[in-house]
Amino acid sequence: MHATAWSRKGTGKHLRGKGTSKIPVFVAVQRNGNVHRRIMPNVTTHNVKEAIREVVDKGATIYTDEALHYNGLAKEFAGHDTVCHSTGEYSRGEVHNNTAESSNALIKRGIMGIYHNVSKEHLHRYLWRWDFCWNNRQMNDGERTIAAIQAGEGKRLFYREPTTTGAE
């Protein structure tokens, strides 16, 4: 959802978000709280606002960057403040979206350092994994393991749909 951005001196202009082959992901993070992510096949103002309405309480103040998708949110929520990344503003007191940016950076680092590549087909599973870790970051490893096992209880995970051989 960001426009183009300049990289380090001398390396030229690099596209971010729109205009790349990257799969757009919506992220909403409550300060000191949980993260909610979803793949956004079509990034439109309508779709972004619908995603926000689904996970954000009407009494909340929303902090975003200056992307036009967020225009008009102050009418629906307790407030809406923005920072203007294009002018080098990344925070103004309590107004920042650094929590969401930090959460995304952890995913990028995980892909580069552990997984190296994530297919579009399985991206939602990787996002669930990182959301689970973020949302349970106060637990120790043992507690998190038990919570993960309990979350899968009663569910079957198939890599692909089972096939019948006809011999039943």
pLDDT at 73: 92
In DSSP terms, 14 is beta-bridged to 5
Burial class (CB in 10 A: 0-12, 13-18, 19+), 65: buried
Question: Does the pTM exceed 0.75?
Answer: no
Please, what is the Cα angle at 82 between 79 and 84, to 5 degrees? Answer: 170
Asked if 93 and 74 touch (Cβ cutoff 8 Å), the reply is no
Residues of the chain with pLDDT under 50: 1-11
At 126, list the tokens: 């990787």
- For the chain, domains (ranges, CATH) are 5-151 (3.30.420)
- Identify the CA nearest to 86 among candidates 1, 22, 4: 4
Element spanning 80, H or E: strand 79-82
User: pLDDT (tens digit, 9 = 90+) per residue, 113-135?
Assistant: 877 778 888 888 888 888 998 89
Given this model, what pLDDT does residue 17 score? 57
